[in-house]
Amino acid sequence: MEYIYIAISATFVNNILLGQYLGNCPFLGVSKKIETAIGMAAAIVFVSILASIFTWSVFTFVLKPFNLEFLQTLTFILIIASLVQLVEIILKKKSRALYNALGVYLALITTNCAVMGVALLIAKNEMGFLEMLVFSSCSAIGYGLALILFAGIRERLLLSAVPQVMQGTSIALVTAGIMALAFMGFQGMA
Amino acid sequence: MAQKFIPTLTAGWWKRIPPFRLVLGLCPALAVTMSAENGLGMGLATAFVLILSNGAISTLRNVIPSKVRIASYIVIIATLVSIVEILMKAYFFPLAEQLGIYIPLIVVNCIVLGRAEGFASKNPPFISMVDGFSVGTGYAISLTLIGSIREILGAGTWFGNPVLGESFEPMAFLVTAPGAFVTIGTILALQNLYSRWRGEKFIQG
C-alpha cells in the first residue's frame, strides 16, 4: 500500500516536471515532435533508474558510514556523468538499435536536472532500496508522460494562430502552466 | 582588453540576460521564485558559482585537454557548488532550507556550463570573471523580478513586507507551480513585444 502511495505521488501529484520544476531545458527543447519526446522519455526512464540505484548505493554504503554527506553533490554528478558515458558505450557495442533510438538524447541527459534531482531527493528523504526503486521509476515515468503529452499539444499548437509575440518559448511556457494546473488536480488523491 | 570590458560587463544585464534572452537555467527560475527573497538568494548563489567557475576554468584553459574538458568543468563547478552549499547552511540556514535541493542543482544549471564552454574556455581570467559577474548578476536581477511579481500579486507582500493593503485579495495561483510557468511565459511575451517595438530581432527558443 505504501508503495502504491509513493508511485501515485511520484507520477502525478508531485510530477517531477510540472510539480517540482526539474528538467525544463530538454522539456522545452525536445518537445516539438512526439517521436523525439518518446525517445527522450525512454532515455530518461532508463538512465534515471540506473543512476538512482548507483547513487543510492554510494550514498548509503560509502558516504553515510564515513560521514561524507557534504560530498554528495560532487559524487552524484560524477556518477551520473560517467554512467551516461558508460551506457552510451555499452549500447553502441551491444545494441545498435537501442543506441540509434536513444543515442542523441543520452548525451543531453548529463545536464538534465531531473536525473540529478531524483537522486538528491532520494538521498534527502533517506529512502530504502525498494522505495528508491519505486520512486525513481515512477518519477521518470511521470516525466516521460508529461513530456509526451506536452509534445502532442505542441504539435497542435503549430497549426493554430498564436499572436506573433507569444510564439515559441513564450506560448510553450504558458501551455505548460495550464498543464501543470491539470496536474495540480491530482493533489486531492494523496 | 579595455574596449572589451564595458560590453562584456553590460551584456549580461540586457543583451543576453538569462533566463529571458539566453533561455537557459529555467528550472531554478521556475522553482525558487515563490518570493523575491528566494529569487535573490538563488540568483546570488548562482552568480557566486559563475564568477569563480569562470575564473578557475579560464585560468586552467590551457591545461585541460579538450577531450575531457566537459568532465573537468563539471568537477570544478561541483566543487564550487559544494562550497556554496556548505556556506549557505552555515550562515543563511532558513534560506538554505527553503531552496533545498535547488542549491546542489546549480551544478546542472546550463548557464554555468554554457558560460564556461562559450566564454571562459576562450578568454583570459579577468575578462571571464567580468563575464561571470555580468551574467550572474543579470540572472539574480531576473530571478528577483520574477520572484517580486509572483510574491506581490500572489501573496500581497514584497520581501515579506505587506505592500498592497488589506483590501487586496492575493492571487494564490501565482505562488503555485502553474503560476511560475505562466509568469515567465508572459514576461517573455512582453519582452518580445518590446523588442518588436524597438525593431530588434526576436529571441525564440
Rounded to whole angstroms, the Cα distance separating A168 from A46 reads: 29
Instruction: Please indicate if any CB of chain A lies within 8 Å of the CB of B172.
Output: no
Closest Cβ–Cβ partner in B74, B181, B196 for A176: B181
Residue B2's pLDDT band, with cuts at 50, 70 and 90, is low
Determine the residue among A69, A173, A184, A186 to mutate to test chain B binding: the one whose Cβ has the most chain B Cβ atoms within 10 Å.
Answer: A173
* CA-closest candidate to residue A141, choices A5, A4, A12: A12
The H-or-E segment that residue A136 falls in is: helix A129-157
Closest Cβ–Cβ partner in A113, A124, A177 for B27: A113
pLDDT beyond 80 at A92: yes
When comparing pLDDT for B203 and B101, which is higher? B101
Query: Average of pLDDT values for B163-177?
Result: 79
Closest Cβ–Cβ partner in A121, A124, A177 for B182: A177
Q: What is the pLDDT of residue B14?
A: 76
**Containing domain of residue B170, as a range?**
13-198
Instruction: Please indicate if any CB of chain B lies within 8 Å of the CB of A124.
Output: yes
Q: Which residues on A lie below 8 Å from B189 (Cβ)? A: 163, 165-166, 170-171
Domain count, chain B: 1
Residue B89 lies inside a defined structural domain of this protein: yes
Query: Average of pLDDT values for A97-116?
Result: 76
Residue contact B184–A173, C-beta within 8 A: yes
Q: What share of chain B has pLDDT > 90, as a percent? A: 30
Q: Which residues on A lie below 8 Å from B186 (Cβ)? A: 170, 174
Residue B7 lies inside a defined structural domain of this protein: no
Q: What is the pLDDT of residue B202?
A: 56
Lowest mean pLDDT among A125-134, B73-82, B110-119, B128-137: B110-119
Structural domain boundaries of chain A?
A: 6-185
Shortest distance, CA A98 to any CA of chain B (angstroms): 25
For chain A, helix (H) and strand (E) counts, in that order, are 8, 0
Asked if B126 and B9 count as a contact pair (C-beta separation under 8 A), the reply is: no
Q: Which residues on B lie below 8 Å from A126 (Cβ)? A: none
Residue contact A22–B31, C-beta within 8 A: yes
Instruction: Please indicate if any CB of chain A lies within 8 Å of the CB of B100.
Output: yes
C-alpha cell of B205?
Answer: 527558443
Q: What share of chain B has pLDDT > 70, as a percent? A: 95
- What is the sign, positive or negative, of the torsion defined by CA atoms of B123, A73, A50, B181? negative
Residue contact A81–B185, C-beta within 8 A: no
pLDDT beyond 60 at B1: no
* CA-closest candidate to residue B135, choices B13, B23, B38: B13
C-alpha cell of A77?
Answer: 554528478
Query: Average of pLDDT values for B61-85?
Result: 88
What secondary structure letter does DSSP report for B157?
A: E
Distances from the Cα of A126 to the Cα of A69, B62, B147, angstroms: 12, 42, 31
Query: Which string of b and e fits B27-62 if b means at least 16 CB within 10 Å?
Result: bbbbbbbbbbbbbbbbbbbbbbbbbbbbbbbbebbe
For chain B, helix (H) and strand (E) counts, in that order, are 8, 2
* CA-closest candidate to residue B8, choices B123, B113, B138, B134: B134
Task: Give per-residue pLDDT as tens, B17-70.
Answer: 787 777 777 888 888 888 888 899 999 999 999 999 999 999 998 888 887 888
Instruction: Please indicate if any CB of chain A lies within 8 Å of the CB of B89.
Output: no
Query: Average of pLDDT values for A19-31?
Result: 78
Residue B61 lies inside a defined structural domain of this protein: yes
Q: ∠ at Cα B78 (A31, A108), nearest 5°?
A: 20
Report the half-sphere exposure of A159 (CA within 13 A, side-chain side).
4
Residue B3 lies inside a defined structural domain of this protein: no
